[in-house]
Structure 1
Amino acid sequence: MFVRLLIVFTVLAALVAALAYTKYSQIQRDIAIFSQPMPPPTVAAAVVTARTWEPTLAAIGTVRAVEGVDLNNEVAGQVRDILFESGTLVKQGQILLQLEDDVDQADLEGLRAAERLAQIKLDRNRALLKDRAVAQGDVDETLAQLDQARALVKAKEATIRKKAIRAPFAGQLGIRQVNLGQYLAEGSAIVPLQALDPVFIDYALPERDLAQLRVGQTVQARVAAYPDRLFAGSIQAIGPGIDQGTRNVPIRARFENRDLALRPGMFARVATRLPAQDAVLTLPREAIAFNTYGDSVFLIEERDGKTQVQRRQIRTGAVRGDEVAVLDGLTAGDRVVVAGQVKLTNGQEISIQPAKDQPDQTAADQARPE
């Protein structure tokens, strides 16, 4: 019995020893692995380049028609003819709508008859005046009657003309708002009319930019309806004053619109182009860390045969697309980290993986000044 127990304890002791040895070996392997230095993080790099820079002043604006009205009638009447279709292009002076004017035409004939009678009386009295058969007062009275008759004829002709609604300028019509046979009171809305070529874009810029603005300056715009298209125009007018609420200066730019792509009311992103500047240092926007304490980048340096990074404070300027102008803190040819900055610290060794469309190390060395 004792021998059996001894054998059992011996076997258990051997199993425990084997398990302990196995665990010890695993711990030693883990210690060896973690004691090895971590591989340097891989980052993408960009080279600071000097190029010709065309700065712009960005703003948002609204497209407006050069001429735009809601046509209405000056005199009341019933619609006799509608001579247009919604959305069509019309010429200046084209008749769009005719109100009923039969009664006015009949009244005009009567007034013209009265005018002719007054003219006959005046001619007869002037002839009799030579023979002293009538007094000068009779001639003056008939002359006044003729003038009155002529005035009534002109007034009636004006009323008849107002019953023919014409396009005050060339443009495109909107949606018709009247129907045939409808009675229109004075001032009733008939149809919108917009002149769409050219068009204006109204926008505003901060007052600090006023000294950089001038009439005729090139302006570019984009609209949501045509995201891949760039519209070109120029400043036509700069407001004489500054808005006290926003401290902005109002600006109006003129754009050619032959294909009628720009429509009144569109939201537009506007860029006012400034004179080009030579040898401006630029960096991709993603290379810069923007914060309230200043902008910074991770500068790539070679030290003791190792590629390391150091945080460098810089001063940035204007932004154009994905590029940012660098005013201070870097020189042409410097390399900075463009991706992977979050995991970096000062003096840390790195491995560089060139980003797409970025120069490699050889190109960077060639670009670095002597």
Structure 2
Amino acid sequence: MKRSIIVVVCAAALLFGIVFGLHAYQQHQIHKRLAAAADPKVVVSDTTVKTIRHAAETSAVGQIVAVQGASISSAVGGVVETVDFRSGMQVTKGQVLLTLNAGSLPGQVDQAEAKAHLAAINAKRQHGLFGVNATSQANDDTATYTLQSDIAAVKALKLALAQYTIRAPFSGVVGLRTLDPGAYVHPGDTITNLENLDHLYVDFSIPQRNVSLIHIGAPVTVTIHQADRLVHFTAHVTAFDSHVSKASRAMSVRARIAAGAALSPGMFTMVSIQSQSPKPIVAIPMVAVSFNTFGDFVYVVAKKDGALVATEQPISVGTEFDGQVEVLSGVKPGMRIVTAGQIKLHSGDGVTINNAVSLETKS
């Protein structure tokens, strides 16, 4: 009987021990999960701050212009008789582009030439008579100046007639043809555009603080988008304005682009001017910087009590270039900074580094 009681008591004690042990283990696991949820480690990517050599640049928006370019128009009005060019045609200086109906002007020229011819004969006759004292000095002078007046009238009429023939003022490529015979052209109407594409310029403006960077022959880099890529061209400053604009406090600059550039007048470009020789700077990726109205900062990763912790670090930034930014103060070469995952971070959070995958960056 006693032995049975002892066995029952031992079994009950063992059962209660197991129950209390399971309960204690469950409570421990719950507390562990709650602690982990209260202070989770954030997965981020990082990089090491480095020193690089960089030449600071000044950027501006420019526009491509031709070495010679003009909108061809007529000084007189009239009906188009002939159009002597095709769209996109290469023309030479003096080549006829278009003729207008000159009305009665050709007849007036013929009449004036006949009158001048008669005046020449009369002047010659009067001069011969005056040589033998058969006429007066007054008659000889009148005949001479009448001839000069008639010759001048012929020149004026020929110049007026020439305005009805539109010629290329220089060699180049014409634009689109928009006129046909029979159309009426008003004075000042654009007939076509003419551009000399042998050489091109880029015009741009720079702030007055950067005027000292500009000198004749200074190299500039011209960048444009072509399809889905950036294309760079080299140019050199050929001229700049003699004053700074009162409205914008900027100076206009013109640079000549190297021959052979596949550019067209009117294109907008980015222009970069090297402002100094390359020098060592501390640079970090732009994505690492959290820009804030109260000050810019990065998250610096360092070990604390054997674990990696991200700490907010205020910084002062300088110029931006190629997806990077110069750091003037706040971090030093060799420090590790967070480059992705900042949106989930608070200063002092534990972090896990994973540079093998593309992580979500801050928006």
TM-score band (shorter)? Answer: 0.7 to 0.9
1:96-115 map, 5 Å: 96-101=97-102, 103-115=104-116
1:210-249 deviation line (CA, Å, top 9, x unaligned):
3333343332333345442123323343334444444333
The CA distance in 2 between the partners of 1:333 and 1:27, in whole Å, is: 44
- Relative to structure 1, the CA distance from residue 303 to residue 175 in structure 2 (aligned partners, 3 Å threshold; closer, same or farther) is same
- Relative to structure 1, the CA distance from residue 75 to residue 344 in structure 2 (aligned partners, 3 Å threshold; closer, same or farther) is closer
Aligned amino acid, residue 30 of structure 2: D
Secondary structure in structure 2 of the residue aligned to 1:223: strand
Secondary structure in structure 2 of the residue aligned to 1:133: coil
Aligned amino acid, residue 220 of structure 2: V
The CA distance in 2 between the partners of 1:356 and 1:218, in whole Å, is: 41
- Relative to structure 1, the CA distance from residue 167 to residue 237 in structure 2 (aligned partners, 3 Å threshold; closer, same or farther) is same
1:18-97 map, 5 Å: 29-35=29-35, 40-97=41-98
CA contact (8 A) 2:66 2:195 kept: yes
1:154-192 deviation line (CA, Å, top 9, x unaligned):
112212322210111223322333220334343333222
Aligned amino acid, residue 287 of structure 1: A
| Cross-structure match for 2:18 | none
CA contact (8 A) 2:311 2:347 kept: yes
Structure 2 residues without counterparts, runs of 5 or longer: 1-20, 359-363
Of all paired residues, the percent bearing the same amino acid is: 27
The Cα shift of 1:144 comes to 0.8
The Cα shift of 1:22 comes to 9.7
| Cross-structure match for 1:212 | 213
Q: Is 1:123 aligned to residue 118 of structure 2? A: no
Normalising by structure 2, what TM-score?
A: 0.79
The CA distance in 2 between the partners of 1:248 and 1:189, in whole Å, is: 32
Q: Which shows bigger deviation, 321-330 or 347-356?
A: 347-356
Aligned amino acid, residue 34 of structure 1: L
The Cα shift of 1:102 comes to 7.6
The Cα shift of 1:304 comes to 5.0
- Relative to structure 1, the CA distance from residue 348 to residue 35 in structure 2 (aligned partners, 3 Å threshold; closer, same or farther) is closer
Aligned amino acid, residue 164 of structure 1: T
- Relative to structure 1, the CA distance from residue 225 to residue 263 in structure 2 (aligned partners, 3 Å threshold; closer, same or farther) is farther
CA contact (8 A) 1:197 1:256 kept: no
CA contact (8 A) 1:75 1:159 kept: no
1:238-249 map, 5 Å: 238-249=240-251
Secondary structure in structure 1 of the residue aligned to 2:355: coil
1:177-256 map, 5 Å: 177-226=178-227, 227-256=229-258
The CA distance in 1 between the partners of 2:308 and 2:22, in whole Å, is: 41
Q: Which shows bigger deviation, 90-99 or 232-241?
A: 232-241
| Cross-structure match for 2:291 | 290
The Cα shift of 1:46 comes to 1.4
The Cα shift of 1:152 comes to 1.6
Q: Which shows bigger deviation, 205-214 or 74-83?
A: 205-214
CA contact (8 A) 1:177 1:189 kept: no
| Cross-structure match for 2:263 | 261
The CA distance in 2 between the partners of 1:323 and 1:356, in whole Å, is: 21
The Cα shift of 1:296 comes to 1.8
- Relative to structure 1, the CA distance from residue 259 to residue 319 in structure 2 (aligned partners, 3 Å threshold; closer, same or farther) is closer
CA contact (8 A) 1:197 1:260 kept: no
Aligned amino acid, residue 175 of structure 2: G
Secondary structure in structure 1 of the residue aligned to 2:212: helix
The CA distance in 1 between the partners of 2:258 and 2:175, in whole Å, is: 20
- Relative to structure 1, the CA distance from residue 114 to residue 286 in structure 2 (aligned partners, 3 Å threshold; closer, same or farther) is same
1:145-184 map, 5 Å: 145-184=146-185
- Relative to structure 1, the CA distance from residue 327 to residue 32 in structure 2 (aligned partners, 3 Å threshold; closer, same or farther) is closer
CA contact (8 A) 1:50 1:281 kept: yes
The CA distance in 2 between the partners of 1:61 and 1:43, in whole Å, is: 40
| Cross-structure match for 2:11 | none
CA contact (8 A) 1:235 1:253 kept: yes
The Cα shift of 1:355 comes to 5.9
**Number of aligned positions between the proteins:** 337
1:339-360 deviation line (CA, Å, top 9, x unaligned):
2223334444433333689xxx
The CA distance in 1 between the partners of 2:189 and 2:345, in whole Å, is: 71
The Cα shift of 1:308 comes to 3.2
| Cross-structure match for 1:271 | 272
The CA distance in 2 between the partners of 1:263 and 1:123, in whole Å, is: 58
1:106-136 deviation line (CA, Å, top 9, x unaligned):
4333332322222222222222222211122
The CA distance in 2 between the partners of 1:36 and 1:192, in whole Å, is: 73
CA contact (8 A) 2:109 2:158 kept: yes
The Cα shift of 1:104 comes to 3.4
- Relative to structure 1, the CA distance from residue 73 to residue 246 in structure 2 (aligned partners, 3 Å threshold; closer, same or farther) is closer
Structure 1 residues without counterparts, runs of 5 or longer: 1-20, 358-370
| Cross-structure match for 1:18 | none
Aligned amino acid, residue 294 of structure 1: G
CA contact (8 A) 2:225 2:231 kept: no
